[in-house]
Amino acid sequence: MLDRLMRDGLAGLFVLCLLTAPPALAQPAGQSTHTTTQAPENVILLIPDGFGPASATFARDYLRATSGRFELAFDSLHIGSTRTASSDSRITDSAAAGTALATGHKTYNGAISVDSTGRPVAHLVEAAEARGMTTGLVVTSRITHATPAVFSAHVRDRGEEDRIAVQQLDAGIEILMGGGLRHFLPDASGGQRTDGRNLVDEATEAGYHVVRSASALKQAPREGALLGLFADSHMAYEIDRAQTQQPRLATMTRHALDRLSGSENGFFLMVEGSRIDHAGHSNDAAAHLQDILAFEEAVTAALDYARSDGETLVLVLSDHETGGLSVGRNRDGEGIYEWHPAPLAKVTASQGAMVRSIMDGSEPERVLATSAGIDSLRAEETERLRAATGNPRALHAALSEIIGRRSLVGWTSLAHTAVDVSTYAYGPGWEAFIGSHENTYIAHALARLLDADLEALTPRSETTEIRSR
Ligand SMILES: [Zn+2]
């Protein structure tokens, strides 16, 4: 009876809450007050690759401890979560996760916008191009890497990056920026293509303005198509970027928005903080952190644009979590109620850069002092570093543990994990993303908002090529 009373009482209370919920409950504080039932004119989809729920806490706590800022730029736009499993694994890779977000199809790990049978399926950039929208992809990985590839190509294996590059230039995309120059140049010109094609020359002939450095990007004319290839492979981690000629992710994003802003039929821009994921794979806390903050700056650029424009949907969502990041961990078998952001502020290089210095002959103790601000090592740590010398993987693990022990940041995997990832949205159509959804839902919801039909664009026979224009 008491049980029943409590149950009924709670149910009644729940109904009462629903009836009396103020509008503010249904609309996160960060949302604009203009009418939100309209369809967006433009879409900016920002993907922090490998950014899990713990990554948000991690970056926010760091800001609170070191800068006096209390929120990430997109915190107040948090409206839901995305489930990430692929068709053949509870733990997705970026190719299957990206294909789900771009096409609405669950597929196998490694697939680039083909379904689980290998059939090409239309993606959102094709849908946008078919509607006459202008499109752009801005990333910090190779532009031929999994996430940008699913928005620009169809291949059965993500490793086919030379083929992906060819398809990307045929896709009618107006702006392509990232790394990956090696897949656009033949051997003879310093690239890796074995078919002898020089896609940089082909792109120029097709009307792309091609740039390879931050200064060339700055000077580039603001109209026409743009191909920015700023590194042979991936662009640098943000923490190492000062040693390069590469632009910041936010600079590339602002440049893209500048070019896209005049689009007569609207635009679709995908921006990826690609290397948040790579730092997770390396269990490199400081590189993970700085790439998150660089991504946050790009989100701020997108939100600034959307707030002044009023017609732009900004959607921020990760494809999966990487590394099993934990803010708080055991030390010597003891659980500890602390984690310390401050030691990460002293780290000025990625673990990869530190490993390269050690492999090139620098003393590990010296590298840790100059690049991580760690002056004294415990005897076991010195011993572990000595034993790892000559073995990059073991050096990565040793450095990660040394830094993790001091900050009490932990990692449980060198791969991805299955945890749901967060969704953030702002602008016309944002309500469509409230709640917990399969990743495939995102593509369907975006297609609906753009009044596009992904199925109609998908050819019935796999021998038919998808034509976006
Ligand atoms: Zn990914």
Ordered domains of the chain (ranges, CATH): 42-324+414-457 (3.40.720.10), 326-410 (1.10.60.40)
| Distance between CA atoms of residues 181 and 142, nearest Å | 8
Residue holding tokens 């780290």? Answer: 347
| Distance between CA atoms of residues 145 and 161, nearest Å | 7
Cα–Cα–Cα angle for 437, 443, 446, nearest 5°? 100
| Distance between CA atoms of residues 376 and 378, nearest Å | 7
Spatial CA neighbour of 52 closest among 448, 416, 452, 461: 416
Spatial CA neighbour of 158 closest among 183, 128, 122: 183
| Distance between CA atoms of residues 322 and 277, nearest Å | 6
Instruction: Report how far ligand 1's centroid is from the alpha carbon of 84 (Å).
Output: 10
Instruction: Report how far ligand 1's centroid is from the alpha carbon of 277 (Å).
Output: 6
Residues 6+ away with beta carbon under 8 Å from 276: 48, 49, 50, 51, 55, 288, 291, 292, 295, 322
Question: How many residues comprise the chain?
Answer: 469
Structure tokens at 248: 């910041």
pLDDT at 235: 98
- 3 state SS of 134: strand
| Distance between CA atoms of residues 468 and 130, nearest Å | 5
| Distance between CA atoms of residues 41 and 18, nearest Å | 32
Report whether 254 contacts 220 (CB < 8 A): no
Instruction: Report how far ligand 1's centroid is from the alpha carbon of 359 (Å).
Output: 28
Instruction: Report how far ligand 1's centroid is from the alpha carbon of 374 (Å).
Output: 31
| 12-60 residue pLDDT tens | 333 333 333 333 334 455 555 444 458 999 999 999 999 999 999 999 9
Q: Across-strand partners of 208?
A: 225
Residue holding tokens 């896709």? Answer: 171
Report whether 202 contacts 217 (CB < 8 A): no
Report whether 211 contacts 246 (CB < 8 A): no
Instruction: Report how far ligand 1's centroid is from the alpha carbon of 251 (Å).
Output: 22
Per-residue pLDDT of the chain (469 residues; tens, 9 = 90+): 334 333 333 333 333 333 333 333 344 555 554 444 589 999 999 999 999 999 999 999 999 999 989 999 999 999 999 999 999 999 999 999 999 999 999 999 999 999 999 999 999 999 999 999 999 999 999 999 999 999 999 999 999 999 999 999 999 999 999 999 999 999 999 999 999 999 999 999 999 999 999 999 999 998 899 999 999 999 999 999 999 999 999 999 999 999 999 899 999 999 999 999 999 999 999 999 999 999 999 999 999 999 999 999 999 999 999 999 999 999 999 999 999 999 999 999 999 999 999 999 999 999 999 999 999 999 999 999 999 989 999 999 999 999 999 999 999 999 999 999 999 999 999 999 999 999 999 999 999 999 999 999 987 655 445 543 3
Instruction: Report how far ligand 1's centroid is from the alpha carbon of 208 (Å).
Output: 28
Q: What is the pTM of this model?
A: 0.91
Task: Report the sign of the C-alpha dihedral through residues 253, 254, 258, 263, in that order.
Answer: positive
Which sequence positions are flagged as catalytic? 94
Instruction: Report how far ligand 1's centroid is from the alpha carbon of 151 (Å).
Output: 13
Phi and psi of 253, rounded to 5°?
Answer: -65, -45
Residue holding tokens 């609906």? Answer: 448
CA distances from 96 to 108, 123, 458 (A): 6, 13, 18
Report whether 350 contacts 239 (CB < 8 A): yes
